[in-house]
């Protein structure tokens, strides 16, 4: 991979009645394969401002895939496929993080494939500080993914010809994140992390690559029938970690770790709500791992 990039940034650090600080940057970069194929062009700008009340606002935008650029990995070993322009917009709003309760929300919107691909995402979170010893956070991810050019599989027909297939993927994903940090003393701390995750989707409009270098999106693909491949999925996962750290003497540490994982998948979208899908997670068989790490510092 060969990369070229340029970054220019502005910083305004003198406070005014409207802001405490402002950052604004502009970027451009290009990627090429080792053989010289243009992989992508990017234009990007990001804006960050801290208001007088210590609230923060962040805005950003990236425009890529314009001009002539190719994705040499899209067909998983097949021909490089020409990219369509893609826009990525995002915004973040956070309140004063010095407070005991500090909410934040991050929003993202992606548009590509000449409007056929969209990805709106909402990522709220809440930081909690009960005391100097106890803190934590709660976060969520909510995504509605409509991707019109999802790789579907490389199918070999009876004549030995490989068909590089793509499909439209309509996918919904919800995840929750929990963190807890407790400091009993400078020598004894406890950290807890847990994340349940559910993602389900449907495939439709299966196509194969017709002319991978066509300038028009519709000319790059043609219809294809792919029998024997499931068109739906429902995937669930739960991951958690509990870590106890004890410095039982200066420089000598004991770690006790408990990790639990649950995972399940079925080849169908299902009729359950996300709430019931999350509930199903805890009926799945868990995989528990317990680790002990002990270190001793020899002071010669």
Q: How far apart are CA 40 and CA 38, in angstroms?
A: 6
Alpha-carbon distance values, 256 to 42, 135, 182, 262 (Å): 45, 20, 15, 21
Q: How far apart are CA 61 and CA 113, in angstroms?
A: 17
Q: How far apart are CA 280 and CA 25, in angstroms?
A: 45
Predicted confidence pLDDT, tens digits, the chain (300 residues): 899 999 999 999 899 999 999 999 999 999 999 989 999 999 999 999 999 999 999 999 999 999 899 999 999 989 999 999 999 999 999 999 889 999 999 999 999 999 999 999 999 999 999 998 999 999 999 999 999 999 998 988 888 899 999 999 999 999 999 999 999 999 999 999 999 999 999 999 999 999 999 999 999 999 987 555 568 999 999 999 999 999 999 889 999 999 999 999 988 888 888 888 898 888 999 999 999 999 999 877
User: pTM of the entire structure?
Assistant: 0.87
Contact 286, 262 (CB under 8 A): yes
Q: How far apart are CA 145 and CA 124, in angstroms?
A: 18
Return the bridge partners of 263, or none.
237
* Angle of CA points 161, 162, 167, to nearest 5°: 135
What does the longest C-alpha to C-alpha distance in the chain come to? 74
Alpha-carbon distance values, 188 to 64, 203, 248, 255 (Å): 48, 50, 8, 10
């Amino acid at each position: 991979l060969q990369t070229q990039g340029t970054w220019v940034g502005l910083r305004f650090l003198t406070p005014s009645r409207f802001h405490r600080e402002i950052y604004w940057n502009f970027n451009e970069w290009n990627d090429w394969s080792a053989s010289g194929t243009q992989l992508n062009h990017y234009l990007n700008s990001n804006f960050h401002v801290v208001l007088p009340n210590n609230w923060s606002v962040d805005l950003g935008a990236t425009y890529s895939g314009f001009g002539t650029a190719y994705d040499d990995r899209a067909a998983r070993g097949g021909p490089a496929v020409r990219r369509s322009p893609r826009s990525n917009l995002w915004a973040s709003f956070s309140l004063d993080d010095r407070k005991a309760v500090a909410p934040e929300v991050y929003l993202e919107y992606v548009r590509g494939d000449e409007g056929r691909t969209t990805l709106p995402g909402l990522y709220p979170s809440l930081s909690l500080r009960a005391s100097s010893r106890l803190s934590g956070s709660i976060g969520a991810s909510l995504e509605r993914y409509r991707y019109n050019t999802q790789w579907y599989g490389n199918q070999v027909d009876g004549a030995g010809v490989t068909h590089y297939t793509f499909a439209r993927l309509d996918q919904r994903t919800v995840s929750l994140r929990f963190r807890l940090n407790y400091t009993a003393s400078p020598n004894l701390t406890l950290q807890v992390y847990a994340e349940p995750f559910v993602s389900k989707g449907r495939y439709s409009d299966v196509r194969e690559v017709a002319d991978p270098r066509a300038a028009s999106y519709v000319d790059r693909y043609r219809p294809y029938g792919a029998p024997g491949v499931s068109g739906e999925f429902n995937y669930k996962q739960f991951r958690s970690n509990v870590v106890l750290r004890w410095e039982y003497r200066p420089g000598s540490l004991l770690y006790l770790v408990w990790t639990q994982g649950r995972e399940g998948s079925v080849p169908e979208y299902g009729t359950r709500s996300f709430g019931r899908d999350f509930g199903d997670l805890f009926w799945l068989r868990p995989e528990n791992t317990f680790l002990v790490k002990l270190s001793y510092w020899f002071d010669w």
